[in-house]
Structure 1
Amino acid sequence: MNIQDVILGILSEKPHSGYDIKRHFEEYFSFFFDASFGTIYPTLSKMEKLGLISREAVRQEGKPDKNMFTITPDGKQHFQEYLRQPAEKEVLRSDFLMHLYFGDMADEETMHTLLREALRAKQEMYEDLEHKLQELDKTGKLTPSQKLCMELGLVQYDAFIRRVQSALES
């Protein structure tokens, strides 16, 4: 999976501006995929050159023109090929887990602080995702697979929270 495939998926739903694409990443994907404007815009340029998307400048009253991006037939074909491929093996890169792995080399208070901070951060992430899921579920905009995706994110956060709480209590 790469950002290009994700953007094609977003544009398969409807045309979006670069800003709308960034918001989509934040609203729907923040718990498992991150992308900055510095990544999104160069990728959009590359995708346009490859013929996977097209760009249309939309005039706005009193504002600069807004570029709207639309998936092309070649882009749709490329995205369908991506969906037919088996999912890649997930690779987790976690600075927290690396700190924890070498935790025996640190003092106990440092490790307790690490665990407490990670717990607090993960609880915030859980609450944020839970709130997003509830809000989006109310609108009826989530497909069953999108809802399952977000629920699986909550399950992962919950398992992390429970295990770290248990470690802190022992």
Structure 2
Amino acid sequence: MTMKGREVILGILQESPHTGYEINDILQTRLSHFFDATFGMIYPTLKKLEAEKLVTKQQISQTDRPNKNIYTITAAGQAVFSKAINEPTSDEILKSDFLMHLYFSQDLSTEQVALFFQEEIARKEAKIAALQSQLATWLENGMTEQRKITFDYGIAYYTATLAVLKKAAKSNQ
């Protein structure tokens, strides 16, 4: 079974209660190299989880800002997450806009293809830098051995991909 947004959010709340903003931060910093989530999916998913009684919402009043909602996983939510996490894993699905453009680029100019390579190389370098910049904080906050493996996997993936891209960009000039 492929974990969807609902199971991922339940997994995040398994650790501790969080606001939607905090959930987004975790998705965008710690999980973005292997889970594609948008900010726009978080609140509708939380609303559905609340309707299904898998999470509860506590509203904290704030005078100088909008009220803050803190979400907590319920026992029912923990049961749903436990079932999901124990399912066999699915094969990885690679979706790459760059590779689609490259695959169909036979009629493009060498300059346009070179631009695609430059953009993708810059993206991969940025992903590596973003992961590396977070590592110290994650380790200080008690990063588990399993979570460290997801970090290492991301670094290895982007580093290997970057090597292929740089080699191909040179030969494509």
Q: Which moved more, 1:126-135 or 1:160-169?
A: 126-135
* 1:104 alignment counterpart: 106
Task: Calculate percent identity across the aligned residue pairs.
Answer: 36
Instruction: Please state if 1:8 is matched with 2:17.
Output: no
Offset of residue 140 of structure 1: 4.2
Residue 124 (1) aligns with residue 126 (2): yes
TM-score (norm 1): 0.93
Q: TM-score, normalised to structure 2's length?
A: 0.91
Q: Tell me, what secondary structure is at the counterpart of 1:96?
A: helix
Quick one: which amino acid aligns to residue 166 of structure 2? Q
* Alpha-carbon distance between aligned partners in 1 of 2:47 and 2:137, rounded to the nearest angstrom: 33
Deviation at 1:128, TM superposition (A): 1.2
Query: How many residue pairs get matched?
Result: 169
More helix by share: 1
Q: Which runs of 5+ in 2 are unaligned?
A: none
Partner of 2:167: 166
Q: Please state how far the C-alpha of 1:92 moved relative to its aligned partner.
A: 1.6
Counterpart for residue 146 of structure 1: 147
TM-align CA RMSD: 1.4
Structure 1: unaligned runs, 5 residues or longer: none
Moved more, 104-113 or 19-28: 104-113
How far is the alpha carbon of 1:36 from its aligned partner?
Answer: 2.8
- What corresponds to 1:73 in structure 2? 75
One-letter amino acid of the counterpart of residue 152, structure 2 = E
1:62 CA drift (Å): 3.2
